[in-house]
A = this chain, B = another copy of it.
Amino acid sequence: MTSLRDVAERAQVAVSTVSAALNGTRPVKAETKRRIEQAAAELGYRPNLLARGLVSKRTRILALLFPPPGSGFGLTEMQFATAAAEAAAELGYHMLLSPESADPVEELRYLTGMGLVEGVLLMEVRLTDERTDFLLESGVPFAMIGRTRDPGAVDHADIDFARTAREAVAHLAGLGHRAIAFFNHSTSAYSPEYGPSVRAGAEFAAAAREAGLGYAGDVRADTADEGRRAFDRLMAEHPEVTAVAVMSDRAAVGVLQAVEERGWSVPGDLSLVLASASARVAEMFRPRLTTLEPPGAELGRLGARMLIDRLESPGSPPAHRLVPCRLVIGDSSAPPRTTASRGAPQTEA
């Protein structure tokens, strides 16, 4: 491996001059600089990041903590990772993928204690999160994709649940629906501290209220089976509901099933909006579902940029960015029939 010394030798200058010339940290005569650059190019010189990091304390390496797969780790979460890595690469940083062990705080202590990682990007942040406590206390720069209950001065990018819910509700209200329901994640599969679940639930309720719509919240389902049963229960208690928003794509499968079992159809007898699934997933359903596509890539990008900004200008004010989901209209949302005529043979589609 060719080192700074080799370059210095070939260009007939001191090592420190090469460093200065290559990094532009000090003025170097044009002619000397040229000679040095040529020598470096000829030797194919690449600076050693380890040596550089050792003295400068800057490694340009970020860590992305990702939760154990299985816990709702889907396409969206993966987009965080890839987009964040890409944004980082564009800015000259590297992204370390760090699977979260049983003890995430210990994991963090280890990661940051090594001197390898300059900053941490957190995802799947819960409303109260021990990881943020640790990072705050230890002074390690970090940013979040998602946010705690009170993010304070911590940089973060998250879904704009308020706007997303209002857009979805406006879409349904605009179609003429007067009563809707929201199928949240079940508390057994997701922590009650899971931000998206809590916030979406709250915002859908608020949006429905503001729009003057009937609203059935507190429905929860994460599997097809749960979805099916939850829908039957919902119809028993709230037959006036003509449209539902569903967080879990699996639960949506169940709802569709239940609708079919009644001899009903979507969107004729029920409008269904998928909350928080990519269009790619939504179009696999028949009919193609209307969905609220989460801005996974953008959040990843934003998170990485924020973290890097924080590293490069520590004094800057904290960044908080909320991005709404994109409403992608499919074939599963339409004007409601009168609930009385439900299940009647379909009119022309």
Contact = CB atoms under 8 A, between A and B. Distances in A.
A21 to B, nearest CB: 19
B54 A50 contact: yes
A163 interface: no
A97 B99 contact: no
A94 interface: yes
Given A78-B78, A98-B89, A59 B50 contact: yes
A297 interface: yes
B69 A224 contact: no
14 contacts: A48-B54, A48-B114, A49-B115, A50-B54, A69-B79, A74-B75, A75-B75, A89-B101, A94-B98, A95-B96, A95-B97, A96-B96, A97-B97, A281-B284
B97 A283 contact: no
Among A68, A85, A101, A285, max chain B CB count under 10 A is at: A85
Interface string A12-34: 00000000000000000000000
Nearest to A74: B75
Interface in A36-73: 44, 46-51, 53-54, 59, 61, 64, 66, 68-69, 73
Contact of A284 (B47, B101, B253): B253
Contacts of A99: 82, 85-86, 89
Contacts of A110: 46
A212 B99 CA distance: 47
A222 interface: no
A89 B49 CA distance: 22
Nearest to A73: B82
Interface in A70-117: 73-75, 78-79, 81-83, 85-86, 89, 94-99, 101, 109-110, 113-116
Contacts of A109: 46
Interface string A221-258: 00010000000000000000000000001100100110
Interface in A243-297: 249-250, 253, 256-257, 260, 281, 283-286, 297
A1 interface: yes
Contact of A54 (B51, B83, B89, B286): B51
Given A64-B97, A99-B89, A50 B82 contact: no
A115 B85 contact: no
Nearest to A284: B284
A46 B116 CA distance: 11
A285 B283 CA distance: 10
B54 A82 contact: no
A260 B286 CA distance: 11
A249 B285 CA distance: 11
B74 A116 contact: no
- Greatest chain B CB density within 10 A among A99, A256, A283 is at A99
> Lowest 8 A-B CB distances belong to which pairs?
A46-B113, A78-B78, A48-B115, A85-B97, A49-B114, A86-B99, A50-B54, A49-B116
Contacts of A115: 1, 48-51
Given A78-B81, A95-B97, 18 more contacts: A1-B113, A1-B115, A46-B113, A50-B54, A51-B115, A64-B97, A73-B82, A78-B78, A81-B81, A81-B97, A82-B97, A85-B97, A85-B98, A85-B99, A250-B284, A253-B283, A257-B286, A285-B286
